[in-house]
Amino acid sequence: MRPEELLEQAIEIATEAGKMIRTIYQQGDFQRELKADHTPVTSADIAAHKLISQRLSALTPDIPVLSEEAADIPLSQRQHWSCYWLVDPLDGTGEFIAGSGDFSVIIALVRQHRPVLGVVYVPMKEDCYYAVAGHGAFKRSHGAQAQIHSRQLQPQAQTLRLAVSRRQDPEKVLQLFRQPDNCQLLPLGGAALKSCLVAEGRADCYVRVGPTGEWDTGAAQIIIEEAGGRLLDTSLQPLTYNERDTLENPNFIVMGAPRLAWEQILIAV
């Protein structure tokens, strides 16, 4: 099936998982623990993982699912996948635990190592960002739908609106910029949410310094690209998908205006 033929079902699955997560969040009845990499996981993550994996497997039995909560699949097996679903059942687990509401459900479809479909559903706002390669990026909110575009800054722009994590020292991000005083910080939780903020033009860039997985960027990448931006590592090279033993991303930047001279804006790393 073509990606566009799977879009509505992917949105439905993300929405169903998001509603379940919202119910657990509002009830406050969830268990939490630390995974082997010392990152938090909750019973909401696991429940969403099970729901999404089951629904996607039923939708496309021949397409494997790679989820953050079941990522221990060796490259020797993954490298034979020409197409697969890439899922973060609950992006922003720390925000979920902290009670900020800034978390999302992420589903991407990857073909030949490139995301071609992406869905980011925001349970507490009931917003859904989505894109299919070649068809533009959109935001659906409470029944209304609109195409979204990143803000195309002009070269003489003086201020960059920079989305940053509430739970990260902003100085670690600002030190990558040649003129940090020109950055206006916009704190937000969840990697995908900050990427979508850039995609809809409410922020100009988002720089992630620290560990993330390929599931954090798959959907965000196709959404930002279809909105007119780019997602690259901080050396301004493309990210890779399912081509390495590790599924961990390098530091990366989501840029709304890719034609800016980013090699002059960022300090080489």
pLDDT tens per residue, the chain (269 residues)?
899 999 999 999 999 999 999 999 999 989 999 888 888 999 999 999 999 999 999 999 999 999 999 999 999 999 999 999 999 999 999 999 999 999 999 999 999 999 999 999 999 999 999 999 999 999 999 889 999 999 998 776 678 999 988 777 888 889 999 999 999 999 887 889 999 999 999 999 999 988 899 999 999 999 999 999 999 999 999 999 999 999 999 999 999 999 998 988 998 65
CB–CB of 64/85 below 8 Å? Answer: yes
Query: CATH for 160-265?
Result: 3.40.190.80
Angle at alpha carbon of residue 69, lines to 65 and 66, rounded to 5°: 20
Q: Are 255 and 205 in contact (CB under 8 A)?
A: yes
CATH 3.30.540.10 fits domain 3-147? yes
Residues of the chain with CATH 3.40.190.80: 160-265
**CB under 8 A, 24+ apart: contacts of 232-240:** 234/176, 234/207, 234/209, 234/266, 234/269, 235/268, 235/269, 236/262, 236/263, 236/266, 239/214, 240/113
Q: Is residue 86 within 8 Å of 105, Cβ to Cβ?
A: no
Integer-rounded Cα Rg, in Å, for the chain is 17
CB atoms within 10 A of CB 127: 18
